[in-house]
């Protein structure tokens, strides 16, 4: 791992994410980019060269002052969080958050995003979701979501929840990397629900086959019964006092996302535990 991206809005959760990123960077030798995006006003547009063009002088002045204040806040955040021995660079830009993050991932070859989240629920979640959820859905690298203070980030028990079908193999290298990074125990879990019920013996055989196929070590096999998959993952993680949950997501957008949803994105919104997601 060489590059970690930490988007920040200067909230407490964003600071928690920065602290976790520092911990991971010290373990891996990675450099961190701390990014703040000022959302582009609706009345602004792009020129042929890609520069932001404003249609109101007062608006341009407001954005310039906001950028100056943002750079000051960025400097305060970097000074507040101890990062001795870790290279930290900062960037402030005017753009949409998701689009900017996607461009930084491509330009900087980002290996991991560590992002704070307040979560969302109810009508707000249904209509727009959180920025973190949108990043989870669209990022082409793993995304680690942080909600609570955990500067030591000592991960010993990891839940890997999946149906363990063929496509999950695309994410296994990333999941194994994090398990090895923290020398953690991996708890493979299949949530058995009434709507798609299978015998425990069949499911345990399926999980054992997956463990052999992906050459996993230091793991347990678990079949957990619950009414829906999301609740099952949350309850299982609580039962074993997990330090992190790992899941793959299909990253659906638009109408298909609205209709089918995503368990991984729901977990990001509803659990206080760190969640590592990987888009298949």
Q: What is the CATH number of the domain that holds 223?
A: 3.40.50.620
Nearest to 88 by CA among 18, 185, 169, 162: 18
Would you state the structure tokens that stand for residue 195, as one six-digit string? 């709507």
Interatomic CA distance for residues 240 and 274, integer angstroms: 14
| 151 in any annotated domain | no
Averaged pLDDT, 87-92: 94
| Lookup: tokens for 14 | 């964003």
| Structure confidence by residue, pLDDT tens digits, 179-215 | 999 999 999 999 999 988 899 999 999 999 999 999 9
Number of domains present in the structure of the chain: 2
The answer to whether residues 130 and 11 belong to one domain is yes
Instruction: Examine the domain organization and report whether 194 and 142 are in the same domain.
Output: no
Same domain, yes or no: 132 and 168: no
Question: Residue 52: is it exposed, middle or buried by C-beta count within 10 angstroms (0-12/13-18/19+)?
Answer: middle
Contact 155, 127 (CB under 8 A): no
Tell the residue number behind the tokens 């997990």, with chain if given.
Answer: 242
Buried b / exposed e over 218-247, threshold 16 CB at 10 Å, is ebebbbbebeebbebbbebbeeeebbbbbb
Question: How much is the pTM?
Answer: 0.86
> Which pLDDT score, from 0 to 100, does residue 119 have?
60
Find the domain containing 171 and state its range.
157-279
Of 92, 127, 146, the residue that ends a domain is 146
Starting at the edge strand that comes first in sequence, how are the strands of the sheet with 185-192 ordered? Answer: 88-95, 31-39, 3-7, 112-116, 143-146, 275-279, 244-249, 157-161, 185-192, 219-225
Task: Express each pLDDT in 229-280 by its tens digit.
Answer: 999 999 999 999 999 999 988 755 443 333 334 788 888 888 999 999 998 8
Q: Are residues 16 and 122 in the same domain?
A: yes
Residues 140, 161, single domain; the answer is no
- Residues 107, 169: one domain? no
Neighbours of 249 (CB within 10 A): 20
* CA–CA separation, 159 and 232 (whole Å): 12
- pLDDT tens digits, one per residue of 47-72: 444 555 555 566 677 777 877 888 88
The three-point CA angle 118-34-37 to 5° equals 70
């Amino acid at each position: 791992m060489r590059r970690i991206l930490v988007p920040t809005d200067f909230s407490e959760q964003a600071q928690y994410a920065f602290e976790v990123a520092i911990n991971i960077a010290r373990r891996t030798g990675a450099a961190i980019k701390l990014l703040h995006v000022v959302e582009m006003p609706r009345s602004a547009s792009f020129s042929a060269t890609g520069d932001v063009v404003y249609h109101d002088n007062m608006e341009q002045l407001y954005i310039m002052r906001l950028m100056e204040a943002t750079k000051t806040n960025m400097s305060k955040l970097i000074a507040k969080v101890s990062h001795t021995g870790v290279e930290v660079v900062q960037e402030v830009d005017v753009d949409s958050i998701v689009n900017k993050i996607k461009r930084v991932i491509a330009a900087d070859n980002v290996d991991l995003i560590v992002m704070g989240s307040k979560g969302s629920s109810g009508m707000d979640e249904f209509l727009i979701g959180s920025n973190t959820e949108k990043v989870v859905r669209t990022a082409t690298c793993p995304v680690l979501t942080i909600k609570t203070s955990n500067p030591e980030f000592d991960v010993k028990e990891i839940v890997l929840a999946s149906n363990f079908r063929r496509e999950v193999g695309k994410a296994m290298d990333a999941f194994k990397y994090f398990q090895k990074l923290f020398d953690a125990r991996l708890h493979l879990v299949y949530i058995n629900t009434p709507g798609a019920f299978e015998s425990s013996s069949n499911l345990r055989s399926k999980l054992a086959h997956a463990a052999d196929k992906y050459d996993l070590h230091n793991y347990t096999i678990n079949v957990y019964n619950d009414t829906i998959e999301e609740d099952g993952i949350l309850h299982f993680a609580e039962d074993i006092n997990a330090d992190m949950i790992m899941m793959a997501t299909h990253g659906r957008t638009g109408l298909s996302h609205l209709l089918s949803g995503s368990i991984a994105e729901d977990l990001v919104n509803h659990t206080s535990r760190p969640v590592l997601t990987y888009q298949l």
